[in-house]
Structure 1
Amino acid sequence: MAAIGEERQAYAGDADHPLGAYAGAMGVYAAGIAALAAAARLTRRSLPEPTPWDVLLCAGATHRLSRLVAKDPVTSPLRAPFTRFRGTTGPAELDEDVRGHGARKALGELITCPFCTGMWIATGLAAGLVFAPRATRLAAATLTALTGADLLHFLRVRMQQAVGE
Protein backbone atom coordinates (compact mmCIF):
# COMPACT_ATOMS: atom_id res chain seq x y z
CA MET A 1 0.00 0.00 0.00
CA ALA A 2 2.91 2.33 0.68
CA ALA A 3 4.07 1.83 -2.90
CA ILE A 4 0.78 3.28 -4.21
CA GLY A 5 1.21 6.39 -2.08
CA GLU A 6 4.81 6.76 -3.21
CA GLU A 7 3.80 6.45 -6.88
CA ARG A 8 1.02 9.00 -6.40
CA GLN A 9 3.50 11.41 -4.78
CA ALA A 10 6.12 10.79 -7.48
CA TYR A 11 3.53 11.45 -10.17
CA ALA A 12 1.71 14.47 -8.74
CA GLY A 13 4.48 16.11 -6.75
CA ASP A 14 3.01 19.06 -4.88
CA ALA A 15 0.04 19.38 -7.23
CA ASP A 16 -3.46 18.47 -6.06
CA HIS A 17 -4.03 15.70 -8.58
CA PRO A 18 -6.54 13.17 -7.15
CA LEU A 19 -5.40 9.96 -8.83
CA GLY A 20 -7.57 7.82 -6.54
CA ALA A 21 -10.69 9.79 -7.45
CA TYR A 22 -9.85 9.53 -11.14
CA ALA A 23 -9.44 5.77 -10.74
CA GLY A 24 -12.82 5.72 -9.00
CA ALA A 25 -14.44 7.60 -11.90
CA MET A 26 -12.94 5.12 -14.36
CA GLY A 27 -14.30 2.29 -12.20
CA VAL A 28 -17.80 3.78 -12.25
CA TYR A 29 -17.59 4.17 -16.03
CA ALA A 30 -16.39 0.57 -16.51
CA ALA A 31 -19.10 -0.74 -14.16
CA GLY A 32 -21.70 1.22 -16.12
CA ILE A 33 -20.50 -0.30 -19.39
CA ALA A 34 -20.57 -3.79 -17.84
CA ALA A 35 -24.12 -3.20 -16.54
CA LEU A 36 -25.29 -1.97 -19.94
CA ALA A 37 -23.72 -4.97 -21.66
CA ALA A 38 -25.32 -7.36 -19.16
CA ALA A 39 -28.73 -5.69 -19.60
CA ALA A 40 -28.43 -5.91 -23.38
CA ARG A 41 -27.53 -9.58 -23.16
CA LEU A 42 -30.31 -10.39 -20.66
CA THR A 43 -32.91 -8.63 -22.81
CA ARG A 44 -31.47 -10.23 -25.97
CA ARG A 45 -30.84 -6.88 -27.62
CA SER A 46 -28.81 -7.06 -30.76
CA LEU A 47 -26.09 -4.52 -31.32
CA PRO A 48 -26.97 -2.03 -34.02
CA GLU A 49 -24.72 -1.42 -36.98
CA PRO A 50 -24.28 2.35 -36.87
CA THR A 51 -24.53 4.09 -40.20
CA PRO A 52 -22.42 7.12 -41.06
CA TRP A 53 -25.60 9.14 -40.43
CA ASP A 54 -25.84 7.71 -36.87
CA VAL A 55 -22.22 8.65 -36.22
CA LEU A 56 -22.73 12.20 -37.52
CA LEU A 57 -25.97 12.57 -35.57
CA CYS A 58 -24.38 11.33 -32.34
CA ALA A 59 -21.29 13.51 -32.88
CA GLY A 60 -23.43 16.63 -33.15
CA ALA A 61 -25.56 15.61 -30.19
CA THR A 62 -22.53 14.75 -28.05
CA HIS A 63 -20.91 18.09 -28.88
CA ARG A 64 -23.99 20.11 -27.98
CA LEU A 65 -24.97 18.21 -24.85
CA SER A 66 -21.40 18.20 -23.50
CA ARG A 67 -21.20 21.99 -23.93
CA LEU A 68 -24.61 22.36 -22.32
CA VAL A 69 -23.56 20.31 -19.28
CA ALA A 70 -20.07 21.77 -18.92
CA LYS A 71 -20.44 25.44 -19.88
CA ASP A 72 -24.04 26.66 -20.09
CA PRO A 73 -25.25 29.25 -17.55
CA VAL A 74 -28.57 27.42 -17.14
CA THR A 75 -26.83 24.24 -15.95
CA SER A 76 -24.53 26.12 -13.54
CA PRO A 77 -26.59 25.01 -10.50
CA LEU A 78 -25.49 21.44 -11.27
CA ARG A 79 -21.84 22.52 -11.28
CA ALA A 80 -22.03 25.00 -8.38
CA PRO A 81 -21.11 22.51 -5.61
CA PHE A 82 -17.90 21.72 -7.50
CA THR A 83 -16.93 25.06 -9.07
CA ARG A 84 -16.44 28.77 -8.50
CA PHE A 85 -17.85 31.25 -11.01
CA ARG A 86 -15.20 33.44 -12.70
CA GLY A 87 -17.08 35.06 -15.55
CA THR A 88 -17.92 34.30 -19.14
CA THR A 89 -15.76 32.87 -21.89
CA GLY A 90 -18.01 33.50 -24.85
CA PRO A 91 -21.62 33.59 -25.95
CA ALA A 92 -23.69 31.65 -23.39
CA GLU A 93 -20.65 29.99 -21.81
CA LEU A 94 -19.25 30.37 -18.33
CA ASP A 95 -15.72 30.32 -17.00
CA GLU A 96 -15.54 28.36 -13.75
CA ASP A 97 -12.72 27.12 -11.55
CA VAL A 98 -12.93 23.65 -10.06
CA ARG A 99 -12.83 23.63 -6.27
CA GLY A 100 -12.41 21.02 -3.59
CA HIS A 101 -10.14 18.01 -3.25
CA GLY A 102 -10.30 14.32 -3.99
CA ALA A 103 -13.58 13.06 -5.43
CA ARG A 104 -15.15 16.54 -5.34
CA LYS A 105 -12.34 17.94 -7.45
CA ALA A 106 -12.38 14.99 -9.87
CA LEU A 107 -16.14 15.31 -10.37
CA GLY A 108 -15.77 19.07 -10.81
CA GLU A 109 -13.17 18.51 -13.50
CA LEU A 110 -15.41 15.96 -15.19
CA ILE A 111 -18.51 18.17 -15.33
CA THR A 112 -16.68 21.34 -16.41
CA CYS A 113 -14.80 19.72 -19.28
CA PRO A 114 -16.79 19.18 -22.48
CA PHE A 115 -14.18 16.68 -23.66
CA CYS A 116 -14.57 14.67 -20.45
CA THR A 117 -18.37 14.76 -20.35
CA GLY A 118 -18.42 13.92 -24.05
CA MET A 119 -17.19 10.38 -23.38
CA TRP A 120 -20.01 9.72 -20.93
CA ILE A 121 -22.61 11.34 -23.20
CA ALA A 122 -21.48 9.42 -26.28
CA THR A 123 -21.69 6.21 -24.26
CA GLY A 124 -25.22 7.13 -23.17
CA LEU A 125 -26.22 7.75 -26.77
CA ALA A 126 -24.71 4.41 -27.83
CA ALA A 127 -26.71 2.70 -25.08
CA GLY A 128 -29.78 4.55 -26.28
CA LEU A 129 -29.26 3.18 -29.78
CA VAL A 130 -29.34 -0.32 -28.27
CA PHE A 131 -32.30 0.10 -25.90
CA ALA A 132 -34.42 2.90 -27.44
CA PRO A 133 -33.14 3.64 -30.95
CA ARG A 134 -36.05 5.77 -32.20
CA ALA A 135 -36.16 8.01 -29.13
CA THR A 136 -32.36 8.29 -29.12
CA ARG A 137 -32.27 9.29 -32.78
CA LEU A 138 -34.96 11.91 -32.15
CA ALA A 139 -33.07 13.36 -29.19
CA ALA A 140 -29.78 13.23 -31.09
CA ALA A 141 -31.36 14.90 -34.13
CA THR A 142 -32.71 17.68 -31.93
CA LEU A 143 -29.34 18.29 -30.29
CA THR A 144 -27.55 18.12 -33.66
CA ALA A 145 -30.00 20.66 -35.08
CA LEU A 146 -29.13 22.92 -32.16
CA THR A 147 -25.43 22.43 -32.94
CA GLY A 148 -26.11 23.50 -36.52
CA ALA A 149 -28.08 26.51 -35.33
CA ASP A 150 -25.19 27.49 -33.05
CA LEU A 151 -22.82 27.37 -36.02
CA LEU A 152 -25.17 29.59 -38.01
CA HIS A 153 -25.32 32.08 -35.12
CA PHE A 154 -21.53 32.26 -35.03
CA LEU A 155 -21.33 32.64 -38.82
CA ARG A 156 -23.86 35.46 -38.76
CA VAL A 157 -21.92 37.31 -36.07
CA ARG A 158 -18.70 36.88 -38.10
CA MET A 159 -20.38 38.19 -41.23
CA GLN A 160 -21.80 41.19 -39.34
CA GLN A 161 -18.35 41.92 -37.92
CA ALA A 162 -16.78 41.68 -41.40
CA VAL A 163 -19.34 44.07 -42.89
CA GLY A 164 -18.86 46.52 -40.00
CA GLU A 165 -15.08 46.65 -40.46
Structure 2
Amino acid sequence: MTRIRQAYGQGRPLPGYLLAIGGYAALVGAVAAAGRLTGVRLPRRFSFGDTVLISVATHKASRLLTKEAVTSPLRAPFTRYEAPAGHAELKESPREDDPARHAIGELLTCPFCAGVWIASGLTAGLVFAPRLTRLVSTALTAVAASDALNLVYDKLKS
Protein backbone atom coordinates (compact mmCIF):
# COMPACT_ATOMS: atom_id res chain seq x y z
CA MET A 1 0.00 0.00 0.00
CA THR A 2 2.88 2.39 0.74
CA ARG A 3 4.21 2.01 -2.79
CA ILE A 4 0.78 2.72 -4.24
CA ARG A 5 0.36 5.78 -2.00
CA GLN A 6 3.75 7.12 -3.08
CA ALA A 7 2.98 6.60 -6.74
CA TYR A 8 -0.51 8.09 -6.42
CA GLY A 9 0.40 11.05 -4.23
CA GLN A 10 1.38 11.26 -0.59
CA GLY A 11 -1.25 13.79 0.39
CA ARG A 12 -4.29 11.62 -0.32
CA PRO A 13 -5.80 9.54 2.54
CA LEU A 14 -6.24 6.32 0.53
CA PRO A 15 -6.58 4.08 3.64
CA GLY A 16 -9.39 6.30 4.86
CA TYR A 17 -11.12 6.11 1.50
CA LEU A 18 -10.84 2.32 1.60
CA LEU A 19 -12.45 2.41 5.03
CA ALA A 20 -15.32 4.53 3.68
CA ILE A 21 -15.81 2.25 0.67
CA GLY A 22 -15.70 -0.80 2.94
CA GLY A 23 -18.23 0.77 5.29
CA TYR A 24 -20.59 1.57 2.44
CA ALA A 25 -20.25 -1.95 1.00
CA ALA A 26 -20.86 -3.47 4.44
CA LEU A 27 -24.02 -1.40 4.93
CA VAL A 28 -25.36 -2.27 1.49
CA GLY A 29 -24.56 -5.93 2.13
CA ALA A 30 -26.30 -5.81 5.52
CA VAL A 31 -29.40 -4.26 3.95
CA ALA A 32 -29.42 -6.92 1.21
CA ALA A 33 -29.02 -9.68 3.81
CA ALA A 34 -31.82 -8.19 5.92
CA GLY A 35 -34.05 -8.16 2.86
CA ARG A 36 -33.30 -11.77 2.10
CA LEU A 37 -33.85 -12.86 5.73
CA THR A 38 -37.14 -10.98 6.09
CA GLY A 39 -38.44 -11.86 2.64
CA VAL A 40 -38.69 -8.24 1.53
CA ARG A 41 -38.64 -8.05 -2.24
CA LEU A 42 -37.56 -5.21 -4.50
CA PRO A 43 -40.37 -3.50 -6.37
CA ARG A 44 -40.44 -4.00 -10.13
CA ARG A 45 -39.85 -0.27 -10.47
CA PHE A 46 -40.06 2.94 -8.51
CA SER A 47 -42.63 5.51 -9.56
CA PHE A 48 -41.57 8.80 -11.10
CA GLY A 49 -43.11 10.58 -8.11
CA ASP A 50 -41.05 8.54 -5.63
CA THR A 51 -37.91 9.19 -7.67
CA VAL A 52 -38.52 12.95 -7.62
CA LEU A 53 -39.41 12.86 -3.90
CA ILE A 54 -36.26 10.91 -3.02
CA SER A 55 -34.13 13.17 -5.25
CA VAL A 56 -35.25 16.40 -3.58
CA ALA A 57 -35.12 14.81 -0.12
CA THR A 58 -31.58 13.56 -0.81
CA HIS A 59 -30.54 17.05 -1.88
CA LYS A 60 -31.94 18.64 1.27
CA ALA A 61 -30.63 15.95 3.62
CA SER A 62 -27.15 16.16 2.09
CA ARG A 63 -27.07 19.96 2.51
CA LEU A 64 -28.42 19.64 6.04
CA LEU A 65 -25.78 17.08 7.00
CA THR A 66 -22.78 18.62 5.23
CA LYS A 67 -23.29 22.38 5.34
CA GLU A 68 -25.84 23.64 7.86
CA ALA A 69 -24.68 25.28 11.08
CA VAL A 70 -27.10 23.28 13.21
CA THR A 71 -25.40 19.98 12.30
CA SER A 72 -21.84 21.27 12.83
CA PRO A 73 -21.49 19.37 16.15
CA LEU A 74 -21.81 16.13 14.18
CA ARG A 75 -19.04 17.21 11.80
CA ALA A 76 -16.75 18.84 14.38
CA PRO A 77 -14.71 15.72 15.29
CA PHE A 78 -13.78 15.32 11.61
CA THR A 79 -13.67 18.90 10.31
CA ARG A 80 -12.28 22.36 10.97
CA TYR A 81 -14.47 25.46 10.79
CA GLU A 82 -13.34 28.06 8.25
CA ALA A 83 -16.09 30.63 7.67
CA PRO A 84 -19.80 31.24 7.14
CA ALA A 85 -20.95 30.16 3.68
CA GLY A 86 -24.30 31.75 3.03
CA HIS A 87 -27.71 31.33 4.59
CA ALA A 88 -27.26 29.10 7.66
CA GLU A 89 -24.37 27.24 6.02
CA LEU A 90 -20.71 26.88 6.98
CA LYS A 91 -17.48 26.30 5.11
CA GLU A 92 -15.44 23.60 6.81
CA SER A 93 -12.48 21.48 5.78
CA PRO A 94 -11.56 17.90 6.69
CA ARG A 95 -8.99 17.43 9.44
CA GLU A 96 -5.60 16.28 8.23
CA ASP A 97 -4.35 14.46 11.37
CA ASP A 98 -5.57 10.95 10.48
CA PRO A 99 -6.46 9.29 7.14
CA ALA A 100 -9.75 7.83 8.45
CA ARG A 101 -10.75 11.10 10.11
CA HIS A 102 -9.85 12.97 6.91
CA ALA A 103 -11.94 10.65 4.71
CA ILE A 104 -14.93 10.93 7.05
CA GLY A 105 -14.40 14.71 7.12
CA GLU A 106 -14.52 14.80 3.33
CA LEU A 107 -17.73 12.76 3.35
CA LEU A 108 -19.27 15.09 5.95
CA THR A 109 -18.36 18.29 4.08
CA CYS A 110 -19.26 17.18 0.57
CA PRO A 111 -22.98 17.15 -0.29
CA PHE A 112 -22.21 15.19 -3.46
CA CYS A 113 -20.43 12.47 -1.48
CA ALA A 114 -23.02 12.30 1.30
CA GLY A 115 -25.77 12.24 -1.31
CA VAL A 116 -24.77 8.72 -2.40
CA TRP A 117 -25.16 7.41 1.15
CA ILE A 118 -28.40 9.31 1.77
CA ALA A 119 -29.97 8.29 -1.54
CA SER A 120 -29.04 4.67 -0.82
CA GLY A 121 -30.65 4.87 2.62
CA LEU A 122 -33.82 6.53 1.37
CA THR A 123 -34.11 4.09 -1.53
CA ALA A 124 -33.69 1.15 0.84
CA GLY A 125 -36.31 2.82 3.01
CA LEU A 126 -38.76 2.73 0.11
CA VAL A 127 -38.30 -1.04 0.04
CA PHE A 128 -38.37 -1.77 3.80
CA ALA A 129 -40.55 1.03 5.21
CA PRO A 130 -42.17 2.93 2.33
CA ARG A 131 -44.73 4.89 4.37
CA LEU A 132 -42.16 6.19 6.87
CA THR A 133 -39.66 6.92 4.09
CA ARG A 134 -42.25 8.89 2.12
CA LEU A 135 -43.16 10.82 5.30
CA VAL A 136 -39.54 11.77 6.02
CA SER A 137 -38.84 12.49 2.35
CA THR A 138 -41.94 14.67 2.08
CA ALA A 139 -40.83 16.71 5.10
CA LEU A 140 -37.31 17.15 3.66
CA THR A 141 -38.78 18.12 0.28
CA ALA A 142 -41.06 20.67 1.95
CA VAL A 143 -38.07 22.19 3.74
CA ALA A 144 -36.15 22.36 0.44
CA ALA A 145 -39.11 24.15 -1.16
CA SER A 146 -39.32 26.49 1.82
CA ASP A 147 -35.61 27.27 1.53
CA ALA A 148 -36.04 28.12 -2.15
CA LEU A 149 -39.03 30.34 -1.41
CA ASN A 150 -37.13 32.13 1.37
CA LEU A 151 -34.24 32.85 -0.99
CA VAL A 152 -36.64 34.16 -3.64
CA TYR A 153 -38.41 36.29 -1.03
CA ASP A 154 -35.10 37.77 0.13
CA LYS A 155 -34.17 38.63 -3.49
CA LEU A 156 -37.56 40.29 -4.09
CA LYS A 157 -37.14 42.45 -0.97
CA SER A 158 -33.84 43.86 -2.19
In the superposition, the TM-score normalised over structure 1's length comes to: 0.90
Deviation at 1:41, TM superposition (A): 1.2
Deviation at 1:160, TM superposition (A): 2.3
1:157 corresponding residue in structure 2: 154
Question: Which of 6, 10, 33 is 2:7 aligned to?
Answer: 10
1:22 corresponding residue in structure 2: 17
- Is it true that 1:61 corresponds to 2:69 in the alignment? no
Equivalences for residues 1-165 of structure 1 within 5 A: 4-13=1-10, 15=11, 17-48=12-43, 49-99=45-95, 100-161=97-158
Aligned counterparts of 1:151 and 1:113: Cα–Cα separation in 2? 20
Per-residue CA deviation, residues 117-150 of structure 1 (Å, 9 max, x unaligned), is: 1111111101111111000001001101111111
- Aligned-residue Cα RMSD (Å) equals 1.1
Aligned residue type for 2:36: R
Aligned counterparts of 2:98 and 2:6: Cα–Cα separation in 1? 15
Aligned counterparts of 2:77 and 2:41: Cα–Cα separation in 1? 40
Deviation at 1:159, TM superposition (A): 2.1
Higher Cα radius of gyration: 1
Aligned counterparts of 1:147 and 1:104: Cα–Cα separation in 2? 29
Aligned counterparts of 1:12 and 1:120: Cα–Cα separation in 2? 26
Aligned counterparts of 2:77 and 2:143: Cα–Cα separation in 1? 28
Aligned counterparts of 2:19 and 2:86: Cα–Cα separation in 1? 32
Identity level (%)? 51
Aligned residue type for 1:143: L
Per-residue CA deviation, residues 85-122 of structure 1 (Å, 9 max, x unaligned), is: 11201000001121132101111111111111111111
In the superposition, the TM-score normalised over structure 2's length comes to: 0.94
Q: How many residues align?
A: 156
SS in 2 for 1:104: helix
SS in 1 for 2:77: helix
Per-residue CA deviation, residues 18-76 of structure 1 (Å, 9 max, x unaligned), is: 11110111011011111111111111111122101001000111011111111111111
